[in-house]
């Protein structure tokens, strides 16, 4: 987006005395993001092509439902079409906080666990939201198709994990469990990297832009990132979600979702070069250690608080 377009865009915002507009390139989303500073306030501006406006409308709905349920997240300041209807924007109040993944280990293990409990409780609240979009297909049909696609991606990939065949074993063992499961609203990318901790030690959930609907337990497919940052946080997230009563089936489905996610992670990483490839290889090696090459059902990092 050119400087002229940015200037035109900001002139359409319902703000007075804009002092600066700075590109904000953090994260993996494809939309354009900017930090906008007005005379007395700071904002996050998200902009997408008008053809994606439905996704932004749904994103805005989730932010509103979050605020209604006292979930700390961005407050929606404004939304609408811009630049002669070619783009759509969301203007969000800025959250002053640190990335939870960067600061979680500054807290005691008990505090890390309690942050995880809060994250689990919030996820349970999100799963009770009114879905902003619905699929006409069953979860079984949708996810089996996703698994088959990921298997093809991995088999066609020029790179392979050491002991990558174990992922296929896990999928074959547990994929029957995805039959007849309830669809709920998903955050879509729920892990410690999409959370902030402010100066009052309040946990904020951000980046609803990958939202979708699906089976509830699939939202734990990225808990590997939580466990890498803080096993105590990851343990608390599970206990908080289930109110300290974790069903046995969860652990089996968790393995299925983690295995499926790892299959596509290596082909995805190739597009971004050696750094991301090494990250995914390291992540899989860590998973194998947690599960003793998938001989364990419950990962070693999980510690239930008594």
The rounded mean pLDDT for the chain is 94
Query: pLDDT for 99-131, tens place per residue?
Result: 999 999 999 999 999 999 999 999 999 999 999
- pLDDT recorded at residue 1: 65
Work out the percent of the chain whose per-residue pLDDT is above 90: 86
Domains belonging to the chain, first-starting first, are 3-93 (3.30.200.20), 98-290 (3.90.1200.10)
Distance CA 167, CA 294 (A): 9
Burial of 108 (0-12, 13-18, 19+ CB in 10 A): exposed
Q: Please check the confidence at residue 250 and state whether its pLDDT lies above 90.
A: yes
Work out the average pLDDT over 141-162: 96
Residue 188 predicted with pLDDT over 90 = yes
In whole angstroms, give the CA distance from residue 74 to residue 177: 36
Are 132 and 58 in contact, with CB atoms under 8 Å apart? yes
Mean pLDDT of 170-190: 91
Section 290-297 average pLDDT: 98
Is 7's pLDDT higher than 90?
A: no
Residue 28 pLDDT: 65
What stretch of H or E contains 76? strand 76-82
Q: pLDDT (tens digit, 9 = 90+) per residue, 24-75?
A: 887 666 789 999 999 889 999 999 999 999 999 999 999 999 999 999 999 9
pLDDT, mean of residues 189-208: 97
Cα(194)–Cα(72) distance, rounded to whole angstroms? 12
Question: SS3 breakdown of the chain: % helix, strand, coil, rounded to 5?
Answer: 50, 15, 35
Q: Is the pLDDT of residue 234 over 90?
A: yes
- Write down the pTM of the prediction: 0.93
Q: With 70 as the cut, is the pLDDT of residue 306 above it?
A: no
pLDDT beyond 80 at 271:
yes
């Amino acid at each position: 987006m050119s400087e002229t377009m940015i200037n035109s865009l900001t002139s359409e915002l319902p703000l007075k005395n804009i002092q600066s507009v700075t590109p904000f390139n953090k994260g993996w989303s494809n939309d354009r993001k900017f930090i906008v500073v007005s005379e007395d306030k700071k904002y996050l501006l998200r902009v997408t092509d008008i053809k994606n406006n439905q996704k932004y409308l749904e994103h805005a709905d989730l932010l509103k439902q979050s605020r209604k349920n006292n979930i700390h997240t961005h407050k929606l300041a404004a939304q609408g079409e811009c630049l002669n209807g070619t783009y759509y924007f969301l203007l969000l109040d800025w959250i002053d906080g640190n990335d939870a993944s960067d600061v979680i280990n500054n807290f005691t293990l008990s505090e890390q666990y309690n942050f995880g409990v809060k994250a689990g409780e919030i996820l349970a609240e999100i799963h009770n939201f009114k879905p902003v979009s619905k699929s006409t297909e069953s979860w079984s049909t949708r996810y089996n198709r996703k698994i088959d696609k990921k298997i093809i991606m991995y088999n066609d990939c020029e790179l392979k994990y050491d002991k990558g065949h174990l992922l296929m074993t896990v999928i074959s063992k547990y994929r029957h469990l995805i039959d007849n499961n309830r669809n709920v609203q998903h955050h879509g990318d729920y892990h410690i990297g999409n959370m902030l901790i402010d100066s009052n030690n309040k946990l904020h959930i951000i980046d609803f832009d990958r939202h979708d609907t699906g089976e509830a337990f699939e939202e734990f497919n990225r808990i590997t990132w939580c466990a890498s940052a803080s096993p105590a946080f990851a343990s608390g997230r599970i206990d908080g979600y289930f109110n300290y009563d974790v069903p046995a089936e969860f652990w089996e489905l968790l393995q299925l979702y983690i295995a499926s996610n790892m299959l596509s992670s290596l082909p995805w990483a190739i597009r971004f070069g050696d750094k991301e490839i090494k990250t995914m290889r390291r992540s899989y090696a860590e998973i194998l250690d947690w599960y003793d090459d998938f001989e364990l059902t419950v990962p070693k990092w999980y510690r239930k608080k008594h």
